Structure 1
Amino acid sequence: MKKIYLLGASLLLLFQFDAYAQEETDPDEVSLKIISTRKPGLKIVEDFNETTGQHYRDPKAPRFLLYDQKREIAFGVGGFVRVRTAYDFGGSPTSDFGFVPATIPVPTDLLTKNRFNMDASKSTLFFKLLGNNDKVGQFQAYVAGRFSGAGGAFVLTDAYVTLLGFTVGRTWSTFNDLAAVPPTIDFQGPNGAAEMRTTQIRYTGDFGKGFSYAVAAEMPNTTGTYAPTQTVETTQRIPDIPVYVQYNWGEKKASHVRAAGVMRNMNYRDVINNTTETETSFGMQLSTNVELTSFMEFYGQITYGKGIAQYINDLSGRGLSLIQNPSKPGKMQAQEALGWFAQIQFNLSKDVYATAGYSQAEVFPDQLTVPDSNYRYGQYIVGNVFYNLTTDFKVGVEYLWGDRVNIDGASASANRVQTLIQFNF
């Protein structure tokens, strides 16, 4: 908790320093005021709302902002309290992060196949400073985290600055299409979706007529399945390079389609020849969110490549980016992987919406390098209903089904029913 107080105090000091700087150049006294983000007509409020994250889980603008009398700079503290209640039956994933089919025990563990759980650790807090400057235009500083560490400790999720088209710091990867990820109570979401946060330097621009693009250098995160007598893990030396091109259309440009790619250069140590090797790999993605009618929206995404398991929800952190090369002792190869989902949202009324969808994540291992009991693919089915009681208060209920299939064909499934209560502040 001391870290949160220190973080808040530091950002408030930054805001006060900016106000002090204006006093030095402006004879008029600078004062700070509190304004509600529900008040229409103020550009700083509109800018604050437009620069919130595109992911459905990203916190929205807080109820109140501090701003200067010129209405050029605003500072807000916000987030949400999120309480989830869940019951697993007929099988249960072992992950505490979300409903992760890759963690379903095969065969089903009779001791844990039924489980009741309540969780508030995904509650989130953020600090945001947004302003406009004659030299750099609009700029933003953003820090966020949630209480999901050991014993409810605060864990940093985002810390970045944006200006002049650049984003510098930790946030969602440029390879991710956040607006194409559908809403779920499950904190992981579709198992085949590409979602990953990392530290980066990104540039975003547009071509006009609805077209935009981005390119970045990102901190690599690689996990592999090593054979200690042949290969071992080493430090990474080359950043990942993701790019995308996107086209938006429709009312308020709410519909879009995006094509993305990423190049990776993954390092490992060849123990046999005592050399450090680099395995180059590529990934590609096509994603969309389309307003088919005022009643119905479609979310879809397909991601394919080699060495990109770290980007796909179900495959991340499981040693599936690099595997042994069976024909070359001491060498490794990039693991082929695929993830995809399709989901429909039904807007039943102004405040009630429901979604239903299917997702799959899979790898294509060489039979000579991976045991038959290892993961081959996972499936994920979701159906949910959300109700916005007020602008800030949301409830929901959700059913999930998933299964894990191993290389030898052995499989096990799991079911979950869960509810959500979330209050934004």
Structure 2
Amino acid sequence: MKSIFRTSLLLFCIALYGVPSEAQDSIGEKGPGPVILISRDKNGQDEIVNVFKETQRQHFHDPGIPRFLLADRKRKWALGVGGYVQAVVEYDFGGISDDIDFFPAFISGGKPRSQFQMDITTSTLFLKLVGRVGKWGNIIVYTAGNWRGDGNTFELQNAYVQFLGITFGYDTGTFMDLAAGPPTIDFAGPCGMTSYRTTLVRYERTLGKGFSVGIALEMPGIEGATDRYTSVDHQLVPSVPAYVQYGWNKGRSHIRLSGIYRNIAYTDLANDKSNSQTGWGVQATSVVAIGKPFQIYLQYAYGKGIGSLINDISNLSVDIVPDVDNVGKMQLLPMSGWYAGVQYNFTPKIFMSATYSQSMLHAGNYYRIVNPEQYKHGQYLVTNLFWNVIPDLQLGMEYLHGWRKDFDKNGDQANRINLSAKFSF
């Protein structure tokens, strides 16, 4: 009985597959129509498929265009389901960074001096809905997540809607420049890179002649250190980042200038009074393509109260800290982060890169005197080689070296080797 059922089902699928597309298009003229499966490798161009290409996220760790799309009969709406599975093998020696990602802030002296780790939690799954809304243009609904939650549980990384240049939802921050991030197996990336995710409302617009601008209201996400006389709880004002960008070389090169305003509220418990400090940051980023083989990645960021936005410093909870000179008061410390990287493409399938980065917490108001063992300065060096064996399979190997220095001038170093295999779908 089961074999008869399976045979009948197979014959039905074969018959359905054999129906010409013209016949399928004539079904249900007044309804939503049947669902059509479009292969990513389909010959010729399809307008809805091109929208997926044009709106592809630009960060190295973001998934690519899905292999298959589900589209309605008129191909005005399409749903893509995709992602990747990535396995990483890590070995630390000559010192360790005590985390699955390589943070100089987590380098500690003493033992152990080596460790072996394996990670698959960066594997990502996403859904992307794209639609054409007449003269209004495209609407995009995107959700993605990986297994970086507590206990390796699924954790949301993106969930937003884009329409008419407006993005609202949960996404990477506007102060970041995704396209300027260098390629690394290390999921965190360079220690001085700006990196954060938040709930936001963002408006972006292309002005023409290579110029584009953006501005947003973002959930602050303040992380501060407190003492018995201070507390950092509810925030009252959204963060406001903005940028202006100029691109050339058919979009392969650009320079972006960004700024961010942060109002950081805290409570003076000694006097039972609410106070706030004004945080700010400025940043310059760039990607420069030199011919086909070379790409250069650059970033420099500086500000006060932006610790949670800079990779390495985000582990320290120093957006705002107690002012040791004034009981019940808090202060913002200056901080900076930068990197410079280069990528060389040997062939369309093989490329390598190298990046050097620094992050620094600048002391103020005797902060370094009362916190001598606090992190002051981190350095990060990475070089890697990637091979796209087939369009969906990428192998990589990577070497990282990190330095940490504290205010008391003590510090340590660590090394890591990463091996990676990633299959995209």
TM-score by length of 2: 0.91
- SS, match of residue 389 in structure 1: strand
2:252 match: 254
Change (3 A) 1:71 1:336: same
Task: State whether residues 324 and 365 of structure 2, in contact with CA within 8 Å, keep that contact through their aligned partners in structure 1.
Answer: no
DSSP-derived class of the 1:193 partner:
coil
Question: What pairs up with 1:168-317 in 2 under 5 angstroms?
Answer: 168-228=168-228, 230-250=229-249, 252-317=250-315
- For 2:184, what is the secondary structure of its paired residue? coil
Residues in 2 aligned to 1:403 and 1:219: alpha-carbon distance in whole angstroms = 32
1:28 Cα deviation (Å)? 5.5
Q: Distance in 1 between matches of 2:322 and 2:152?
A: 38
Residue deviations 1:219-266, cap 9 Å, x none? 0011112111x211221111000000001100x321000000000000
Query: In the alignment, residue 340 of structure 2 is paired with which amino acid?
Result: A
| Aligned residue in 1 for 2:403 | 403
- The answer to whether the Cα contact below 8 Å between 1:223 and 1:317 also exists between their aligned partners in 2 is no
Q: 2:63, 2:273 → 1: CA distance?
A: 46
Q: Give the whole-Å Cα distance in 2 for the aligned partners of 1:154 and 1:260.
A: 32
Q: How does 1:110-189 map to 2 (within 5 A)?
A: 110=111, 112-134=112-134, 136-189=136-189
Structure 2 residue 66 is matched with structure 1 residue 67 = no
Cα distance in 2 between the residues matched to 1:357 and 1:29: 50
Identity of aligned residues (%): 40
Give unpaired runs (5+ residues) of structure 1. Answer: 1-24
1:375 aligns with 2:375: yes
Aligned to 2:49, the other structure's residue is in SS state helix
Deviating more after overlay: 146-155 vs 333-342? 146-155
Q: Does 1:41 align with 2:48?
A: no
Q: How does 1:93-108 map to 2 (within 5 A)?
A: 93-96=97-100, 98-105=101-108, 108=109
Moved more, 168-177 or 25-34: 25-34
- Equivalent position of 1:19 in the other structure: none
Larger radius of gyration: 2
1:60 and 1:302 map into 2 onto residues whose CA distance is 27
Residue of structure 2 equivalent to 1:357? 355
Q: 1:388/1:275 Cα in 2 relative to 1: closer, same or farther (>3 Å)? A: same
- d(CA) in 1 for partners of 2:365 and 2:276? 23
Following superposition of structure 1 onto structure 2, how do residues 77-96 of structure 1 map, counting pairs within 5 Å?
77-96=81-100
Structure 1 residue identity aligned to 2:64? K
Match of 1:253, SS state, is: coil
Deviations 1:10-34 (A, max 9, x none): xxxxxxxxxxxxxxx9626611100
User: How far apart in 2 are the matches of 1:159 and 1:61?
Assistant: 17
Quick one: distance in 2 between partners of 1:109 and 1:70? Answer: 64
CA distance in 1, matches of 2:151, 2:325: 46
How far, CA to CA, are the matches of 2:242 and 2:346 in structure 1?
36
Residue 29 to residue 141, structure 1, CA distance change in 2 (3 Å): closer
| Count of residues in correspondence between the two structures | 396
Aligned-residue offset at 1:367? 5.8
In structure 2, distance between residues paired with 1:152 and 1:319: 23
Residue identity matched to 2:423: F
**Counterpart in the other structure of 1:389:** 389
How far did 1:318 drift? Answer: 1.4
CA distance in structure 2 between the aligned counterparts of 1:275 and 1:76, rounded to whole angstroms: 51
Aligned residue number for residue 21 of structure 2: none
- TM superposition shift of 1:317: 3.8
Paired residue for 2:336?
Answer: 338
1:135 is displaced (CA, Å) by 5.9
Whether the aligned pair in 1 keeps the contact of 2:214 and 2:242 (CA below 8 Å) is yes
Preserved contact between residue 170 and residue 199 of structure 1 (Cα < 8 Å): yes
Name the CA distance, whole Å, in 2 between partners of 1:367 and 1:186: 35
Q: Secondary structure of the equivalent of 2:179?
A: helix
Contact 1:376 1:406 in 2 (8 A): yes
Offset of 1:109 from its aligned partner? 2.5
The root-mean-square deviation of aligned C-alpha atoms, in Å, is 1.5
Summarize deviations over 1:353-374 as a string: whole Å, max 9, x none: 0001100001112262341110
Q: By how many angstroms is 1:206 displaced?
A: 1.8
- Deviation per residue, 1:118-152 (Å, 9 max, x gap): 11111000011001112642001111100122333
**1:332-370 CA deviation, whole Å, 9 max, x = no partner?**
111110000000001111100000110000111226234
Letter in 2 for 1:376: K
Q: Which structure 2 residue ranges, 5 or more long, are not aligned?
A: 1-27
The question of 1:27 aligning with 2:30 is answered yes
Does the 8 Å CA contact 1:140/1:161 hold for their aligned counterparts? yes
Greater displacement, 134-143 / 66-75: 134-143
* Superposition deviation, residue 60 in structure 1: 0.8
> What SS does structure 2 have at the residue aligned with 1:46?
helix
1:366-399 deviation per Cα after TM superposition (whole angstroms, max 9, x unaligned): 2623411100010000010000001110000000
Secondary structure at the aligned position of 1:313 is classed as: coil
Is the partner of 2:367 in helix, strand or coil? coil
Bigger drift between 85-94 and 329-338 goes to 329-338
Between 360-369 and 304-313, the greater mean CA deviation after superposition: 360-369
* Structure 2 SS opposite 1:53: coil
What is the alpha-carbon distance in structure 2 between the residues aligned to residue 264 and residue 343 of structure 1? Answer: 29
CA distance in 1 between partners of 2:355 and 2:97 (Å) = 19
**TM-score normalized with structure 1 length:** 0.91
